[in-house]
Structure 1
Amino acid sequence: MAPPKKASDGYHHGDLRAALLRAAVELIAEHGVAKLSLRECARHAGVSHAAPYRHFESKDALLVAIAEEGFAWLHEAGRAAMDGLTDPRKRLDAYGVAYVRFALEHPVHHRVMFTLQPDDDSLTAGLGREAFELLQAAAVAVTGPEVDPRHAAVAAWSIPHGLSMLILDGRVPAGLVTDEDAAEDLARAVLSLWRGPLGG
């Protein structure tokens, strides 16, 4: 693999931002969020220490950008999973399965999305709204208008999110989830069991 280019060697405006995001995700995967810094991202991306400040005024802003990217991907994954399905329950289950797969494919994004606590609350205004609204609409189509839409959304969210965290934290039985396909199979089984024998 070729070494990363210096900013002066041809990074375009959008390329630098994307490179810094990739560097941050790789560093978080290796060392955790606590040790992340803009300076270390710059070093990892092969750019000057000042370069990240063209796009991110702080570490918090960089983390918010990772979360924004993750929520956009989650929204697209959910939309794509439901595309072509007309049965409300199948649509909601498809979102749930896509949610679990997304978490395994993008574990750093997933953790940042749901553990982000920046000092400036304005940074997170509206964060994840589209993904949540898509889930809420799918949940309401199952429960009907008599249920509070927020309750329906949280109920539908709880199972795939809880399962995702159990998998990411290594809390499911050994050998049960060996790859993303196995995680999808487990998600389908859990969703089916919950609305059947376990859900009453």
Structure 2
Amino acid sequence: MQEPAEAAPPATTRRSRAKAERRAQLLRSAARLIAERGFAGVRLEDLGAAVGISGPAVYRHFPNKDALLVELLVDISRRLLAGGTAVVAHTTDPRDTLERLVDFHLDFALGDPDLIRVQDRELHSLPDDARREVRLTQRRYVEIWVGILCRITPDLAESDARTMAHATFGLINSTPHSADPRSPEGTRAVLRLMALSALAAAPQLQPANNRPTTSTEDR
């Protein structure tokens, strides 16, 4: 007996596409406004004015400011984790993987500097459950880098690899302050070179179990 053909998924309607585009526009504008004014200094009415709609129309997309901030910060942490996971899944050589991870993070930092500022300043403003999710997702992203660094240098202590990953994020995430708007490619080249040069220092680190310890008699 022939299996019935599966129904084709409904085509995306013009109205649903317009709604999705408006939501994306609101999120981009929200990131910019919150980066400039802080979360407390932005009202949904301000956001509506920024994209040319009324304040009440914003509530069709977001019930309140907290929901807006949650979507901004939870989404970016998920995007980073998904992107990092995809890089690892599609590469085999760990050094190549590390370069691709740096490039991926540069794409984020140069493409979404407002989100970096919002995350740095407003993570504490999230509701507790959303803040926990963001931190957990961020930790999982860090561990992707830790795993690759330890594959490149098997004797590298995980704690050192973790420190290196966080320091690399700090360098690359400096784009809200360091990026030259007249030369984004120049900024990218400088940050890429600095990040890869710093990460290349891993083989020079002593394994944790070979490091000299400082006794109280030496102090």
Q: Looking at CA atoms only, which structure, 1 or 2, has the larger radius of gyration?
A: 2
CA–CA separation in structure 2 for the residues paired with 1:119 and 1:188: 33
**Pair 18,168 (structure 1): closer, same or farther in 2 beyond 3 Å:** closer
Q: Which residue of 1 is the match for residue 38 of structure 2?
A: 33
* Deviations 1:111-152 (CA, angstroms, capped at 9, x unpaired): 223432126212334126445324414423543799997x47
Mapped contact 1:88–1:138 kept (Cα < 8 A): no
Question: RMSD of aligned C-alpha atoms?
Answer: 3.6
Using the TM superposition, name which of 132-141 and 158-167 deviates more: 132-141
Q: Which residue of 1 is the match for residue 188 of structure 2?
A: 180
Alignment equivalent of 1:24, drawn from 21, 30, 44: 30
Mapped contact 1:70–1:113 kept (Cα < 8 A): no
Residues 1-200 of structure 1 mapped to structure 2, 5 A cutoff: 12-28=18-34, 31-34=36-39, 35-115=41-121, 116-118=123-125, 120-127=127-134, 129-130=136-137, 132-140=139-147, 142-143=149-150, 151=159, 154-170=162-178, 178-192=186-200, 194-197=201-204, 199=205
- Counterpart residue type for residue 50 of structure 1: P
* Deviations 1:158-178 (CA, angstroms, capped at 9, x unpaired): 12122124453339xxx9x83
TM-score, with normalisation over the residues of structure 1? Answer: 0.69
Q: How many residue pairs were aligned?
A: 185
Q: Which runs of 5+ in 1 are unaligned?
A: 1-9
- Counterpart residue type for residue 68 of structure 1: V
**Pair 153,48 (structure 1): closer, same or farther in 2 beyond 3 Å:** farther
Q: Which runs of 5+ in 2 are unaligned?
A: 1-14, 207-219
Q: Secondary structure at the match of 1:127?
A: helix
TM-score, with normalisation over the residues of structure 2? Answer: 0.64
